[in-house]
Structure 1
Amino acid sequence: MLAGLLVNALLSTGTDAVLHATGIYPPVGQPMSDALFGLATAYRVVFGILGFYVTARLAPDRPMRHVLWLGVVGLALSTLGAVATWGKGPEFGPTWYPLLLIATVMPCAWVGGRLGEARLSAARRA
């Protein structure tokens, strides 16, 4: 599970850093537009699915169980992030952003887990 969490965290924060460094995102601590938060949501969904896929592929058994447990961890972390930043000002983003991150965790877990299971099934058949 740790590998999937790291994949997601490293890719998300790395992409954030690149987008800040290239000027696509404003400097850290400055407000961003809703469109840029939409972009952040989009790649976080993709990276989340990838992290859950990695978790499924590396699971020693019952990959979906590992994925769903990681989903619960992601749900808790997303909720903590929302609570910590709620009402702290525009530099922390619009109120819909952390709610959307919370709402997408478990669907991403399911998709990533199913893709990982499908890949494992295909590898066993080969």
Structure 2
Amino acid sequence: MLKSFIAVLAGFFSNVILSVLMDTILKILGIIPYDNLFVSTPLVLFVLGYRIVFSIFGCYLTAKLAPKNPMFHSFVLGGIGLVLGITGAVFAGHLGPWWYAWSLVILTLPISYLGGKIYLWQENSK
């Protein structure tokens, strides 16, 4: 049980840390405004893109660290992301275009599937 908890926690924190780090770097470089308002659609798509990549990595890491049933663990992380994504879309959706927050919600479960599947494909190719 503890190993499962650590696997999910590691995937969650890898996603959060990478996203916050990238956001901070882009803000320091002046690419993203500090208030997140008046951001162009291409920039929002760029942010969405790297967050998808970081989320896939987080789910992959969770699957890799899982003591058994890697897909289940990846989906647990996806479920946590889904709840947090819905909460963010409802309560903080005003911080960017409405479709950005909801696209993260819609993509969460496919991302968790892909992260777990990439791990399984890697393991099966050994």
TM-score past 0.5 threshold: yes
* TM-score, scaled to structure 1: 0.89
Aligned pair 1:39/2:46, yes or no? yes
Provide the residue aligned with 2:23 in structure 1: 16
Contact 2:86 2:105 in 1 (8 A): yes
Aligned pair 1:103/2:106, yes or no? yes
Equivalent position SS for 2:23: helix
The Cα shift of 1:121 comes to 2.9
Q: In structure 2, list runs of 5 or more residues that go unmatched.
A: 1-7
For residues 4-83 of structure 1, the aligned pairs below 5 Å read 4-83=11-90
2:66 counterpart letter in structure 1: A
1:73-113 residue CA offsets vs partner (Å, 9 max, x unmatched): 10000000011123x4xxx1111110101011111111100
1:43-87 residue CA offsets vs partner (Å, 9 max, x unmatched): 01100100000001000001001011111110000000011123x
Among the aligned pairs, what percent are the same residue? 37
| Equivalenced residues, count | 119
Q: In structure 1, list runs of 5 or more residues that go unmatched.
A: none
* TM-score, scaled to structure 2: 0.89
Q: Hey, which bits of structure 1, 4+ residues long, moved more than 6 A?
A: none
Contact 1:20 1:28 in 2 (8 A): no
The Cα shift of 1:32 comes to 1.4
Q: What is the root-mean-square deviation in Å for CA atoms of aligned residues?
A: 1.2
2:29 counterpart letter in structure 1: T
